[in-house]
């Protein structure tokens, strides 16, 4: 109900000041789709990411996704993994937010959070966040955000080269 009210005012339920921040805990769920173990499935509409275990189950994580016009879909693979990654805003981001710093060193204040999985040769990442209350929202420039606890868990499970399927 608060999300609906918040959307009427172009804000989030968290921004209404009700102290409702709550991240859905990751959980192991039944997963009957046929994918190789270690595959990552992102369902943007659902705002969930699934890490396929291969035994008929997957680990389900709550995520934040790209805002309208920034979300993307497709297949990629994990090309790099970094702990406490640095962040350099892209020219598109700087055009929309010119007051942003040109570089943010990795650490707790960094928007990339505690870990990042780099997707192919793109600028898209699956990463943590310094705004965990935004999980469940459409807020990014196309990246997939998880709570820092969840990205550390996913990072530790994921191998380089893992397939990532991003669905609308």
Enzyme catalytic residues: 127, 143
The continuous run of DSSP H or E covering 165 comes out as strand 163-167
Confirm if 137 and 118 have CB atoms less than 8 A apart: no
Residue whose C-alpha is closest to residue 83's, from 126, 108, 116: 116
- Give CA–CA dist 119/108, Å, rounded: 22
- Greatest alpha-carbon pair distance for the chain in Å reads 48
Report the b/e string of 67-95 with b at 16+ CB within 10 A: eeeebeeeebebeebeeebebebeeebee
Residue whose C-alpha is closest to residue 152's, from 57, 88, 72, 61: 61
């Amino acid at each position: 109900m608060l999300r609906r009210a918040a959307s009427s005012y172009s804000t989030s339920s968290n921004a209404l000041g009700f102290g409702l921040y709550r991240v859905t805990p990751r959980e192991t769920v039944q997963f009957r789709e046929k994918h190789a173990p270690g595959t990552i499935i992102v369902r943007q509409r659902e705002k969930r990411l699934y890490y396929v275990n291969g035994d008929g189950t997957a680990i389900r994580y709550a995520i934040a996704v790209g805002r309208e016009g920034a979300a993307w879909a497709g297949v990629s693979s994990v090309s790099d993994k970094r702990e406490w990654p640095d962040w350099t805003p892209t020219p598109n981001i700087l055009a929309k937010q010119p007051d942003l710093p040109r570089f943010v060193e990795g650490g707790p204040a960094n928007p990339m959070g505690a870990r990042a999985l780099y997707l192919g040769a793109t600028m898209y990442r699956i990463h943590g966040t310094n705004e965990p209350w935004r999980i469940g929202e459409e807020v990014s420039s196309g990246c997939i955000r998880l709570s820092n606890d969840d990205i550390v868990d996913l990072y530790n499970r994921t191998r380089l080269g893992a397939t990532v399927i991003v669905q609308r």
